[in-house]
Chains A and B, each alone.
Chain A
Amino acid sequence: MSTFFLIAILLLGFLVTFQIAKASEYVGILKGEKKNFEQNNRINGFLLLLFLVFGLIGVYWCNELLKGRILGESASEHGQKIDKMLYITIAVTGFVFVITQILLFWFAFRYQYKETRKAYFFSHDNKLELIWTVVPAIALSVLVGFGLYYWFGITGNAPKEAMVVEITGKQFNWIYRYPGKDQVFGKKYYRNISDVEDNALGLLWDDKAAQDDIQSDQTMYLVKDRPVKLIIGARDVIHDVGLVHFRMKMDAVPGTPTTMWFTPLYTTKEMKKMTDNPDFVYEISCDQICGKGHFSMRGVIEVVTQEEFDLWMAKQKPKYYAVFPDKDPANAKKDSTGTAAISLDTLKLTANK
């Protein structure tokens, strides 16, 4: 019913507008083309000025309304640089925006048609044109300079002491892997990927280095003030690791691993206090369209202190033991073959769902 009303109102609006438009055309003819034109011109000239004034007020108002909801404190050092670059750019472009918009609408209003006015024949002026070639070029050089300085800092090599975490995107979630005690990631090959055999990353179990790798698709744990380097991969299509609070982003491309590094500055708990939001979490958003579940491809990062991290890590079991429980020293005493067979069967069942 409401749809019907909406359409009816729309049609009515159309009809009324059309009738008014038609009538005003006739009135215009009666009034004389010249008088009609002059009146329309005055109205539109005034509206342009009005648009300028209300537009600038609107820009200010919109900023007041929304500025509290945008950036928030940057949670990484890189992020702080990016924020600084952002404010420099906003200042420069904001200045140009206000000046040029004022000139545009003011000139339009100020030099609107008057019968007595003579347009000034002014076809070119080399000096003026040189000024507005050189000045923007200098301003942009400054922005490029700042930008590239930060860019090379951010994309440069990660510090040697950085911890390394692997993150792999798949439709539609993230898988995290830590290298385990030996600090070396085990080899993997995509043809070994098998959901049935609980090998989501295709690890080569024969590789000793793979046997202590920690794997999870729940939460990525990072340490405050400790640089972290992410090795980013994708299993099926292109995804993108978007870390809005750290201001970082990098595509996850199947077949081509990428990396990024940053240093978290605040633990999740600290951020909860700082943002005054008890629900705060660091979220990983997929920022490259990857299929129908793209909008829900969410990961979570928990930044903790080194002690908390060590505690958490101590509780983690290598994936190898989950797949081959008989190899788990904790299960060593039991009859190994039987349990392994059973657990593999159950895994098959769950994976097939």
Chain B
Amino acid sequence: MSNDAILNKPAEAVVIHGDDHDGNGHHDHHHKETFISKYVFSMDHKMIAKQFLITGMIWAIIGGLFSVLFRLQLGYPNDTFPILESVLGKWAKGGKIQPEFYYALVTMHGTVLVFFVLTAGLSGTFANFLIPLQVGARDMASPFMNMLSYWFFLLASVVMISSLFVQTGPASGGWTSYPPLSALGGASEGSKTGMDLWLVSMALFVVSSLLGGLNYISTILNMRTKGMSMTRVPLTIWALFFTAVLGVLSFPVLLSGFILLLFDRHGGTSFYLSDIFVTGQGALPNEGGSAILYQHLFWFLGHPEVYIILLPAMGMVSEIMSVNARKPIFGYMAMIGSLFAITILAFLVWAHHMFVTGLNPFLGSVFVLLTLLIAVPSAIKVFNWLTTLWRGNIRFTPGMLFSIGFVSLFISGGLTGIFLGNSTLDIHLHDTYFVVAHFHIVMGVASFFGMFAGVYHWFPKMYGRYLNNTMAYIHFWVTLVGAYLIFWPMHYEGLAGMPRRYLDFSQWVSFNQFEGLNRFISIVSMIVFAVQLLFVFNFFYSIFKGRRVTTKNPWGSNSLEWTVPLRPGHGNWPGEIPEVHRWPYDYGKDGRDFIPQTEKVGANESAH
């Protein structure tokens, strides 16, 4: 559906909130939307974005709570907590978290945060919210598919949640679910029903992600408003575009890996299974499969997935940083180029997760080279962000603070990637806490910072109100300091070779020297978790009671989303979609604070 087709159907532009008519102007024929079509089965990209965001937040609380539980075990391996038994029953027999449950917790924590929060919650929210608003479209290319994308995600969520309640517990083979462990119910309780539900849920998730991704790509390519060439779209759009491309090309490979796993589990095939004897069950008939094949298929998505999570955060940070430094983003074309380079390289580095699987060392060396190449576009981005701050006139809005925090974390976590990408060091550091520290900082916390930055920055456009600043500042500072306190010392544990996914180190002579440190990390992580609840409270409180936004463009921003009414209806712009005449980063140009994209280029304006 082209823009014109939508333009000719003004009836679709329906007002969401009755009390905002003034901002919207009136249309010829209103038709009253029902509660169901407005809030539940909505096809408005803005509402779908909010649905993704709130579902993602619920998942984040659940996933965070899991981490609090297993940090409790790691921090206090010798203590018992009777209250846990009364809540969790047999999973915490005698007030101690049982090994099966511990592994289920880490598995679910990883799955939930990587896929349900940082993929769906982050890119689902902001791709939906920002793409039509920033490129100047009335909605997504296919609003219906977009709606389906959310509902498949919710369905995936329901299946995943239900796996928590089955008798044998949820999947517990790690978020990567390597077979044979994940293929053999006899090898682990979590590989019984829980694993099936996990696979079904993830398959549904892939469907959701593809429906969304195809929509994002076609909207960006086909539905930009007049004058909005690809070199005039904000960097958020470029980032979301590459994210969608990554997802569309790599999620199907993951799905194929899952389907083969399902066949191995129930169809008697031997894709991943060979020469296996399970204690208590005997020798299995499977021969000739390769367990490593799954890892190739998994990481062919698994590595791009890191960038699926990270790129939207990078895009939003670029945008927010430029707006609040009152300065153009430095090196716009270089930023696009580096996003592109990262996207290409993301497909060519997956085997760096597999240096110690018995991979051919020569193949390993190729992946070392390609992996470390990614550091070059990453470095370009960092230096461009730094230069964007240089000689700016910086406003520390909560969104800006989180953007600065993002860059700091991205530097810290990115540099440790140079350790792990180097196969020689990976031999020692593989599957230790060094890896945990690395990916939590660079992918987990950094992307969360990008997400928070986005929420604080675009909340006024989403709900027509501001979040409370004081709570925002507390949230930022505790989270930033806490993130470093939690993950920085973990590098040292990793250098000591302390393996991840151990629930108790007391019997190990080599790893028992960190008992006090583990407790410290646990305590900090619980404080940080509590502060996230403060954010959630702030979020929901501010939706209803926050300070009202009184101007269309509270941050003095150039991009198109700030030209829509305070509370835009379905269709976004009440009249015609504005035409675009310039790139979105004319801040501080020719002595003017900002020049919106909709303003024509003046006769004697300097070219950038």
B591 nearest in chain A by CB position: A118
- Decide: B473 and A289 in contact? CB cutoff 8 A: no
Partner of A152, one of B275, B361, B534: B361
From B200-208, B230-238, B288-296, B306-314, the one touching the partner chain is B288-296
Residues of B within 8 A of A311 (CB): none
A193, CB-defined interface residue at 8 Å: yes
Partner of B481, one of A51, A137, A295: A51
B170 to chain A, nearest CB (A): 14
How many residue pairs link A and B with beta carbons under 8 A? The number is 369
- Decide: B424 and A17 in contact? CB cutoff 8 A: no
From B22-30, B242-250, B383-391, the one touching the partner chain is B383-391
B326 nearest in chain A by CB position: A119
Knowing A17-B474, A25-B547, say if A288 contacts B331 (CB, 8 Å).
no
- Decide: A294 and B327 in contact? CB cutoff 8 A: no
- Decide: B587 and A190 in contact? CB cutoff 8 A: no
A233 and B552 alpha carbons, distance in the complex (Å): 65
* Residue total for A at the interface (Cβ-Cβ under 8 A): 123
A245, CB-defined interface residue at 8 Å: yes
Residues of B within 8 A of A89 (CB): 418-419, 422, 425
- Decide: B291 and A151 in contact? CB cutoff 8 A: no
Partner of B389, one of A10, A70, A104, A129: A104
Interface 1/0 per residue, A109-141 and B, CB below 8 Å: 001111001111111110011001100110010
A251 and B430 alpha carbons, distance in the complex (Å): 11
A323, CB-defined interface residue at 8 Å: no
Interface 1/0 per residue, A60-97 and B, CB below 8 Å: 00100011011100000011011001100100110011
Residues of A within 8 A of B276 (CB): 190, 235-237, 254-255
Partner of B608, one of A92, A123, A295: A123
Residues of A within 8 A of B513 (CB): 69
- Tell me which residues from 543 to 577 in chain B have a Cβ below 8 Å from any Cβ of chain A: 547
- Decide: B416 and A93 in contact? CB cutoff 8 A: yes
A125 and B372 alpha carbons, distance in the complex (Å): 25
B513 nearest in chain A by CB position: A69
A190 to chain B, nearest CB (A): 4
A342, CB-defined interface residue at 8 Å: no
- Decide: A10 and B390 in contact? CB cutoff 8 A: no
Majority DSSP secondary structure for residues of A touching B: helix
- Decide: A140 and B372 in contact? CB cutoff 8 A: yes
Knowing A3-B83, A151-B364, A280-B509, say if A249 contacts B415 (CB, 8 Å).
no
Residues of B within 8 A of A287 (CB): 430-432, 499
Interface 1/0 per residue, B292-320 and A, CB below 8 Å: 10000000000000000000000000000
- Decide: A292 and B181 in contact? CB cutoff 8 A: no
- Decide: B380 and A129 in contact? CB cutoff 8 A: yes
Residues of B within 8 A of A107 (CB): 386, 389-390, 392
Residues of B within 8 A of A346 (CB): none
A72 to chain B, nearest CB (A): 8
A122 and B389 alpha carbons, distance in the complex (Å): 10
A177 to chain B, nearest CB (A): 16
B328 to chain A, nearest CB (A): 4
Partner of B383, one of A13, A132, A150, A240: A132
Knowing A17-B534, A295-B504, say if A45 contacts B396 (CB, 8 Å).
yes
Interface 1/0 per residue, A33-69 and B, CB below 8 Å: 0000100110011011001000100110010001101
Knowing A118-B588, A255-B289, A291-B187, say if A244 contacts B389 (CB, 8 Å).
no
B161, CB-defined interface residue at 8 Å: no
- Decide: B396 and A40 in contact? CB cutoff 8 A: yes
Partner of B501, one of A20, A45, A132, A295: A295
Residues of A within 8 A of B407 (CB): 104
Extra 9 A-B pairs, beta carbons < 8 Å, given A143-B372, A170-B277, A240-B431: A48-B401, A69-B513, A108-B396, A111-B391, A124-B331, A254-B291, A292-B98, A295-B503, A296-B504
Sample of 12 A–B contacts (CB below 8 Å) = A40-B396, A45-B394, A111-B394, A136-B375, A190-B283, A193-B277, A244-B511, A251-B356, A255-B289, A255-B290, A289-B174, A294-B99
